[in-house]
Amino acid sequence: GWLSYAEKVLRMSKMLERRCWFHSHPMRQLGGLMPDVYSKLESKRARIDTLREISAREVGDLINNQRSAHAVKAEAAQMPQLNVEVSAQPITRTVLRVLLTVEAAFDWVDRHHGSQEPWWIWVEDTENEHIYHKELWLLHKL
């Protein structure tokens, strides 16, 4: 199947476009922190959703740097993230209606995001390695 290849090509494309390798912390692409802060985030394997949820004091304890904690929290909040709700309804035996409700869940910063953020959306069958639908969707700044 093409599904595993599509995922690998998409991951490689994102690494090249964002100049951030898969083993690097995703916040490195924003570049607003000192390199040692990113290294500590990588060594602790700090997830962006965790950095968003914990307090600035806890972030400071995690990276052993209280002065950078608020900046780390701010960058974590700027990382693109979507809240997606999916509703699927069979139309016929071979047709399925899929409705997506998509909401931006990050702080938009023009310097990083420009006027739009592209997202690939696809409907896949992971058991049979098949992609039923794919499209590039653009989230525009409001």
Residue 47: CATH number of its domain: 1.10.150.20
Given a cut of 80, whether residue 3 has pLDDT beyond it is no
- The CATH number of the domain where 102 resides is what? 2.60.40.150
Entry pTM: 0.78
Convert the pLDDT of each residue in 59-116 to its tens digit: 999 999 999 999 999 999 999 999 999 999 999 998 999 999 999 999 999 998 999 9
What is the domain count for the chain? 2
Percent of the chain's residues with pLDDT above 70 = 93
Pairwise CA distance, residues 116 & 54, whole Å: 28
Q: Give the residue from 77, 94, 112 where a domain finishes.
A: 77
Judged against a pLDDT cut of 70, whether residue 51 lies above it is answered with yes
- Asked if 72 and 114 sit in the same domain, the reply is no
Same domain, 58 and 9: yes
Q: Are residues 89 and 131 both part of a single domain?
A: yes
Task: Among 15-19, 43-47, 51-55, 123-127, name the one with the lowest average pLDDT.
Answer: 15-19
Residue type, 45: R
Question: Residue 21: which pLDDT band, with cuts at 50, 70 and 90?
Answer: low
CA–CA dist 98, 120 (Å, integer): 15
Q: Are residues 60 and 117 in the same domain?
A: no
- Has residue 22 got a pLDDT over 90? no
- Residue-level pLDDT at 11: 73
Range of the domain at 65: 3-77
87 and 60 within one domain = no
Q: Where are the alpha helices (DSSP H) in the chain?
A: 3-18, 35-43, 48-53, 56-63, 69-78, 110-113
Residue 36 has a pLDDT of 95
Domain boundary among 37, 52, 77: 77
